[in-house]
Amino acid sequence: MIPRFRPSLGWKEILSLFLPASDKNIIKFEEKFAKKMSQNYAVAFPYGRTALIALLKIFDFERKEIICPSYTCVVVAHAIVESGNIPVFVDSNEFDFNMDFKHVESLINENTAAIIATSIFGYPVNLGAIERIQKKYPHIKIFQDCAHSFSAKWNGRPVNKHGDAAFFGLNASKIITTIFGGIITTDSNEIRNKLLKFRNESIKPASFKKRLVQRLYLFAFYFAFKDSLYFFVNWLERKGFLGRLSQYYDEIKIDLPNDYLEMMTPTGARVGIIQLDKYEAILSNREKIAEYYSRELANIPGLKLPPMISGATYSHYVVRVDAGFRWKLIDNCIKNGVQLGWLIEYSIPEMKVYRERFTSNVKCPISFILKDETINLPLNTSNPKKVISVLTKAMKRVGSVYSNYSV
Ligand SMILES: *Cc1c(COP(=O)(O)O)cnc(C)c1O
């Protein structure tokens, strides 16, 4: 079975299981990561969400409004709440799924402290729109969420370099991984020093248990995502045995993992260093497969294909289908050996816990529709042909006349 995502782990990463690793690996990973992203500094964290909490804490934001997309990973909103601040959600635009900047100005008030500018699915966020906001409101901080996009470029300009800092997630579903982990890049020495101070005061070194468990994860991830073994993982997932590993959020709770203040492990950092060497190859492979899908699916009725944008990094290849058929399609493809992804399947302001706690939030109708219409196709696969053939057959089988997208 072809998994919906797959980390690009090779034997070199597996070898790092058996090699000694120390905090020097973390420093080396930070230096190498900063260089790869063309930035002066990088500071590693246990998770991407911890990195965001750090950014909100070092500026002493307290009960401030933080603008973020409604259609993004829910852990972003969790991090804002955990930091003692208030998420303010902005609807998506239909073109590239990113935050629609035409709504942003009306949401800004004297209590607004920062904007989380997300490049979702690897589509570069509109830096021109951000600059227009910065001109009018120079005190508002801009934090780039590059967890999907890494080095995506908007009109040739790297999004991560724009604004005060960028944060990245490094779990196994991201473009490159440190098993679990997060990192911040910035060109400001002052911000870097504040981050290091925060990290010294608030983040513990990884415990012996965490170091051991992460090695086990690395070992498991290496095998679990092979086509020949993935059916078993899929079975475990369907039976609910993988728990928090596959379902990373809870509809009714705002919570963070127990170890969110326990540092990235040195073994994870060692893996990250090896991953950085392959970074360009990983990106160009994803782009090639995305282009292939766009060519092959161009004339299939009932699919709305994602844009191909120069500078995008394609963390996901996201297709829209009629909401009523989505799960049938996913089920049909799984039976024939291809797992489709269904990320992001919620609009955060409509999730129970956010609806109840943050009642002043405006409606986000586009993300409310996207959450039910999006599927994503495996991008790290040696057999994209099979993906196309299984998907097109499934389209025929479940009835392919999905002409009316809701928007
Ligand atoms: C994965 C992700 C994060 C945070 O990553 P964690 O390491 O899981 O905390 C942040 N934003 C987006 C858009 C993500 O997909």
Q: Which of 296-300, 360-364, 389-393 has the lowest mean pLDDT?
A: 360-364
Contacts of 321 (CB under 8 A, 6+ apart): 302, 303, 304, 329, 373, 375, 402
pLDDT tens track for 172-216: 999 999 999 999 999 999 999 999 999 999 999 999 999 999 999
Mean pLDDT of 152-157: 98
Determine the residue of 45, 73, 178, 318 to mutate for testing ligand 1's pocket, defined as the one with the most ligand atoms within 8 A of the Cβ atom.
73
**Amino acid letter for position 199:** R
The per-residue pLDDT for 407 is: 44
Q: Token pair 């040195």 is at which residue?
A: 266
- Average pLDDT, stretch 366-385? 97
Per-residue pLDDT, 97: 98
Question: Is the CB of residue 312 below 6 angstroms from any atom belonging to ligand 1?
Answer: no
Percent of the chain with pLDDT over 70: 98
* Residues with Cβ within 8 Å of residue 281, at least 6 apart in sequence: none
- For the residues 4-14, what does the mean pLDDT come to? 96
Q: With bands split at pLDDT 50, 70 and 90, how would you rate the model's confidence at 403? A: low
Asked whether the predicted pLDDT for residue 255 surpasses 60, the reply is: yes
Split at pLDDT 50, 70, 90, the class of 83 is very high
Tens of pLDDT along 285-307? 999 999 999 999 998 888 999 99
Ligand 1 pocket member 48 (CB < 6 A): yes
Evaluate if residue 402 carries a pLDDT over 70: no
Q: Which two tokens stand for residue 150?
A: 């890494």
Counting atoms of ligand 1 from 1, which one is nearest the CA of 248? 8
Instruction: Provide the pLDDT for residue 301.
Output: 86
Which residues are CB-contacts of 200 (< 8 A; sequence separation ≥ 6)? none
Which of 55, 83, 145, 174 for a ligand 1 pocket mutation test, highest count of atoms within 8 Å of Cβ? 145
The rounded percent of the chain whose pLDDT value lies above 90 is 88
Q: Work out the angle at residue 136's Cα, subtended by the Cα atoms of residues 132 and 141, and round it to the nearest 5 degrees.
A: 85
Dist CA 187 CA 164 (whole Å): 8
Tell me, using a 6 A CB cutoff, whether residue 171 lines ligand 1.
Answer: yes
- Report the SS3 class of residue 64: coil
CA 248–ligand 1 middle distance (angstroms): 10
Q: What number is the average pLDDT over the span 341-347?
A: 95
pTM: 0.97
